[in-house]
Amino acid sequence: MSCNQPRQGGYCLVAPDGHPCPDGDLCNGDETCIEGTCTPGAPLACTSDDPCLAPVCGPVDGCVLVPGEDGVPCDNRNPCDGDDQCLRGECVSKGAPLDCSDDNPCTRDSCAPATGCQHTNLPDGTDCGDGDACNGDEICSTGTCTLGTALDCDDNNPCTDDACNPAQGCIHTAHPDGEKCGDCRSCQGGLCLPKDDCGGGCATTGASNGVFLLLPLLSILLLGRRRRRHR
């Protein structure tokens, strides 16, 4: 649009300063008359607050937003679905949800879109066993897995080797038969029993069998002496 205004008699009148003289292109701003000359305005500054939308300017529509570059990091305001990226102008999850595991068997792990990861204590007394029977039964206490009492696998049997297997608990392995386990005693089937032959014989009480053989002989001799005296 010209800054010359039509007037009667074929003469033109200069438009006052500030009179609009648009050129039909919104992107280069608003043109106005300054001292009879159409002066360009300030170009439009097109911006976007959305990382997934790019601002562009068209002569007719001015600033508009169009889908930006795919793969640009963004935030869809839901931390539970993990990291996000732009895809065709939308902010979407990359597909890997947020890992809220705290590796604590005494908490229940969850995720809320408003707050992210949450960890709620399980009730006291909840089993939190570590799979090792040797260190006792573990239970939860105020959100912490407390150790139990370790197993005492000593069976007080000299004829067994005592050990603990994490998966099975106490194991007692018998010593070979005939192995000495005390005076005049040996291992038999995992038990410490009196030996049949112990240089004179052994009784189950540990006394020599020879002692028990002498006792009847002494009784006979004493009885014979008493009979002679009475004659």
- Predicted confidence (pLDDT) per residue in 43-66, tens digit: 999 999 999 999 999 999 999 999
Q: pLDDT, tens digit, for every residue of 136-174?
A: 999 999 999 998 899 999 999 999 999 999 999 999 999
CA 109/CA 118 separation, integer angstroms: 6
CA 133/CA 169 separation, integer angstroms: 5
Q: pLDDT, tens digit, for every residue of 217-230?
A: 334 434 444 444 44
Residue 170 to residues 23, 133, 138, 159, 161, Cα–Cα distance (Å): 95, 9, 17, 15, 10
Give the pLDDT band (50/70/90) at residue 6: low
Q: Is 217 exposed, middle or buried (0-12, 13-18, 19+ CB in 10 A)?
A: exposed
The answer on pLDDT for 75 being more than 60 is yes
| pTM of the full structure | 0.51
In the three-class reduction of DSSP (H, G, I as helix; E, B as strand; rest coil), residue 193 is classed as strand
Mean confidence (pLDDT) of the chain: 84
Of 23-37, 104-118, 199-213, the one with minimum mean pLDDT is: 199-213
Q: Is 106 exposed, middle or buried (0-12, 13-18, 19+ CB in 10 A)?
A: buried
The answer on pLDDT for 19 being more than 80 is yes
pLDDT of residue 12: 74
- In contact, 124 and 142? CB cutoff 8 Å: yes
- Which residue pairs from 3-7 have beta carbons closer than 8 angstroms and sit at least 24 positions apart in sequence? 3/33, 3/36, 3/37, 3/38, 4/36
Structure tokens belonging to residue 71: 């793969």
The answer on pLDDT for 106 being more than 50 is yes
Average pLDDT over residues 102-118: 95
